[in-house]
Amino acid sequence: MSSKVISVDNLVKRYKELIALDHFSMDVDEGQILGLLGPNGSGKSTTINCILSILEFDSGDIKVFGKKMTPKSYDLKRLIGIVPQEVAVYDEFTVYENIDFFCGLYIKDKEERKKLVNEAIAFVGLQDFVKFKPGKLSGGLLRRLNIACGIAHKPKLIFFDEPTVAVDPQSRNNILEGILKLRQGGATIVYTSHYMEEIEQICDRVIIMDKGQAIASGTVDELKGMIKKSELIRIEVPGLDEDTLSKINELKNIYTVSYEDNILKVEAGSGKHNVIDIINILQDRGLRLKKIFSEQPTLNDVFLEFTGKELRDDL
Amino acid sequence: MMMFKYSLKKTLSNRMFIFWSFVFPVTLMFFFHLAFSSIYADQNTIEPRDVGVIYEADNPFTSFFGTVTGRIDVLNIVDEDEETLYDLLGQNEIEGIYIVKEDIVEVAMCPKYSETDSMIIKTVADYYIREYDLVEQALTSGDMDTVNSMIDNLNSQTDYVSQKTGIYQEETNPYNWYYYATIVMGIMFQAMAGVNLVAELQADVGERKVAMRTSVSPVSKTVIVLTGFFSRLLVSIVISSFSLFCMDRFFDIPVGKRMPQLILFILASNMFALSMGEMFGLFFKGPVHTRGNKGTALIMTSVFLSGEMIATLPGMFERYLPIVNDINPATVLNFALYRLVYYEDLTSFYIEIVKIVLLTVLFLTVATMKLRRQKYASL
Ligand SMILES: Nc1ncnc2c1ncn2[C@@H]1O[C@H](COP(=O)(O)OP(=O)(O)OP(=O)(O)O)[C@@H](O)[C@H]1O
Ligand SMILES: [Mg+2]
């Protein structure tokens, strides 16, 4: 018995001519936050909908908690929570009623439900708005309600489909912290986004998707290690001599070194110690360092290298 | 239970639904009542006609005429001398004068007499002449019962006369028909609840993204459908019962005294409307509101053809194209309700109800089959 919470094998989903998922496979381990990163239309939501058996797919195999998932897998569904991409709440119910209703689909006991609903409200910080109808909530608050509705019943597996779209940075951070807390509480999480920063911030593993395919997967560092594009280091340091330059060049993980107008430019492979290694050499020689810049490669660079295009052409 | 409660709340807070199925019909009835009830009362309850009597002879025939006319509800005998009576008649102050001769009664009408006036006044005279033999026998034998029954008969006959001479010529009474049509319209609009019911199961149907949440939940579709169906049915039954109550109580249009059949009607018609709504929701394309709008268009057509605006429309179909009445649900419901209230014999009421029930069963079967096949929430 493996600890795989989700295993998707060779999933194919077609919309008429369009192939939304093209032999897509993925695994999620227990307690993990898996990020699905991909541009609009890459198939993130489609993947989730197939896993949840809301959407019929053409071929492939989906197991959740080791069991085959079907529309009638009520025992599995009981363990799952979902925060859909589009806010899905009843306009005619208040914040409290919405959470209570959706939690009630899972939890029959009134007392227990009351406790869970209040916990969820506190979790997303909507205490001051329990009597509000969704129409009166701001975009960010609405997103929080959307989250509360999905997690109140304390699911073991939670899907977040772009929960931070159109949310200000502060609320966004709250949401991300919340997700980390849920993981601490033992939940396994699938998180989709086209914001690479978010994915880098919270995900243990990332699958980069494009056109319905998984083009790369691994931890953030592993992914960055897969590409040639290196860390770019610039240090303003007057009076550098040839000897020092070649010394730097000899460091492992270093590709190119140049020095011009008092600025040392180094391209290094990905790694965490590059800057420190260089600074050590310079300081050994008693040189005065003025400014230091280091540009780390991003998941965007990873995406660029694998697909030849930017992850996001807007923004 | 929790789901039932919320489902009720959902239905009750759906403003469009409440508007179309309750507020709109009751408001229509209210305005119709304001505008037409007095005119209608004119046409149907008979205001006593002012008449004078001039005796040109003095025998039992003439003398007893006064006794009879004095007791007829629809006549108000004006006691003046001959000259004054003719003056009043010329000025249209009284509607007519009976000139009672030896063995005949002549009638003089005012210049502006109406058909109804003349019908009523003449009927009394005709009847008196025809039945005088009986009166005479009764008088000689002292049998007042015969006389009384004759007068009763005359009273009810004039009633009948007035019904037939009203502006409405069809079999049905179009004034009341309008109210029944409006009630039926409200019931037909319960279909909107049916549209929403199936939308709740389809994650891809526009605004109702919540369907996604219910379909990933461990609650089975059957439970969702049944909860949705019965909570909505409960709401619509309450609404239509209350509308009928308003009609009976505030607008004076009777719902009749046959409670079991009335309940049967309310149940059957509301189940029909809900299942018809499910059809709209399942077979029309587009987002929920589009499906609802298409349904509304169909309902309005059906309701229009049933005579909601032109009360004589069903009568016309009856004569030239009866099939329209037979298959138009709104007309079928109208007939059922109308016959339930007015007909002695309930056979035709039951026939209409059977039609409705059969159609409902058909709709529900198709809906169940279709919903069963949609294993996945979005297509
Ligand atoms: N109901 C549908 N009918 C036809 N094509 C669809 C449908 N739903 C999605 N698609 C297509 O499938 C592809 C994958 O869509 P999906 O929603 O999974 O993308 P996504 O990665 O979630 O994108 P986004 O970031 O915009 O949410 C897209 O090309 C989309 O146009
Ligand atoms: Mg998406």
- Has residue A99 got a pLDDT over 60? yes
pLDDT in tens, A136-193: 998 889 999 999 999 999 999 999 999 988 788 888 888 899 999 999 999 999 999 8
Best residue among A18, A55, A193 to mutate for probing ligand 1, ranked by most atoms within 8 Å of CB = A18
Which of chain B's residues have a Cβ under 8 Å away from the Cβ of A97?
6, 9
Nearest Cα residue in chain B from A52 = B216
Of the residues B220, B372, B375, B376, the best mutation for testing chain A's interface (the one with the most A CB atoms within 10 Å of its CB) is B376
- Has residue A100 got a pLDDT over 70? yes
Q: How many CB atoms lie within 10 A of CB B289?
A: 16
User: Where along chain A do its domains lie?
Assistant: 4-224, 231-296
pLDDT in tens, B137-149: 776 777 777 777 7
Q: Which atom of ligand 1 is nearest to the CA of A209?
A: 21
CA distance A230 to chain B (A): 43
**pLDDT average, residue stretch B308-312:** 72
Arithmetic mean of pLDDT over chain A = 88
Half-sphere exposure of A249 (CA within 13 A, CB side): 10
Specify the 3-state DSSP secondary structure of B211: helix
pLDDT in tens, B93-138: 898 999 998 888 888 888 887 766 777 788 788 878 887 877 777 7
Report the alpha-carbon distance of residue A188 to residue A159 in Å, rounded: 9
Q: Check residue B261 and give its pLDDT.
A: 93
B375 falls in which pLDDT band (50, 70, 90)? low
**pLDDT average, residue stretch A68-91:** 91
Asked whether B133 and B93 are in contact (CB, 8 A), the reply is no
- Has residue B266 got a pLDDT over 80? yes
User: ipTM score of the complex?
Assistant: 0.79
Cα A175 from chain centre? 12
Listed in sequence order, the residues at least 6 apart from B269 whose beta carbon sits closer than 8 Å to its beta carbon are B184, B187, B240, B333, B336, B356
Q: How many CB atoms lie within 10 A of CB A265?
A: 14
B40 falls in which pLDDT band (50, 70, 90)? low
- Please tell me the least confidently modeled range out of A195-209, A254-268, A300-314, B253-267: A300-314
- Token match 């004569």: residue? B319
B38 falls in which pLDDT band (50, 70, 90)? low
**pLDDT average, residue stretch A288-313:** 78
A231-296 and A4-224 share a CATH fold: no
Listed in sequence order, the residues at least 6 apart from B353 whose beta carbon sits closer than 8 Å to its beta carbon are B264, B265, B268, B336
- Has residue B170 got a pLDDT over 90? no
- Token match 């807007």: residue? A314
**pLDDT average, residue stretch A70-80:** 91
pTM (two decimals) = 0.73
Cα B70 from chain centre? 35
CB contact (8 A) between residue A72 and residue B210: no
Rounded percentage of chain B residues whose pLDDT exceeds 90: 20
Rounded percentage of chain A residues whose pLDDT exceeds 70: 96
Chain A stretch 55-114, residues whose beta carbon is closer than 8 A to a beta carbon of chain B: 55-56, 71-72, 74-75, 77-78, 80, 82, 84, 86-90, 92-93, 97, 100-102, 104-106, 108, 110, 113
Q: Is B203 on the interface with A (CB under 8 A)?
A: yes
User: For residue B112, what are the CA distances in angstroms to A135, B62, B75, B84, B90?
Assistant: 65, 27, 18, 18, 9
Q: Which atom of ligand 1 is nearest to the CA of A13?
A: 12
B167 falls in which pLDDT band (50, 70, 90)? very low
Q: Is A149 on the interface with B (CB under 8 A)?
A: yes
Ligand 1 centroid to Cα of residue B363, in Å, is: 34
Helix axes B2-12, B191-199, angle to 10 degrees: 130
Nearest Cα residue in chain A from B218 = A74
Q: Check residue A268 and give its pLDDT.
A: 81
Specify the 3-state DSSP secondary structure of A64: strand
pLDDT in tens, B50-78: 899 998 888 878 888 887 787 777 788 88
Q: Check residue B164 and give its pLDDT.
A: 43
Identify which ligand lies nearest to the alpha carbon of B378.
Answer: 1
Report the alpha-carbon distance of residue B257 to residue A112 in Å, rounded: 50
The number of residues in chain A equals 315
- Nearest Cα residue to B214 out of A188, A71, A25: A71
What separation, in Å, do the N-terminal and C-terminal C-alpha atoms of chain A show?
44
Report residue A70: phi and psi, to 5°: -135, 170
Ligand 2 centroid to Cα of residue A44, in Å, is: 5
Classify domain A4-224 by CATH architecture.
3-Layer(aba) Sandwich (3.40)
**pLDDT average, residue stretch A248-270:** 83
Arithmetic mean of pLDDT over chain B = 82
What sign has the CA pseudo-torsion B254, B260, B265, B266? positive
Classify domain A231-296 by CATH architecture.
2-Layer Sandwich (3.30)
Asked whether A240 and A287 are in contact (CB, 8 A), the reply is yes
Asked whether A178 and A163 are in contact (CB, 8 A), the reply is no
User: For residue A139, what are the CA distances in angstroms to A95, A129, A171, A174, A176?
Assistant: 14, 13, 10, 14, 16
pLDDT in tens, B99-110: 998 888 888 888
Report the alpha-carbon distance of residue B134 to residue B140 in Å, rounded: 10
Q: Which atom of ligand 1 is nearest to the CA of A44?
A: 21
Which of chain A's residues have a Cβ under 8 Å away from the Cβ of B219?
74, 105
DSSP label of B169: -
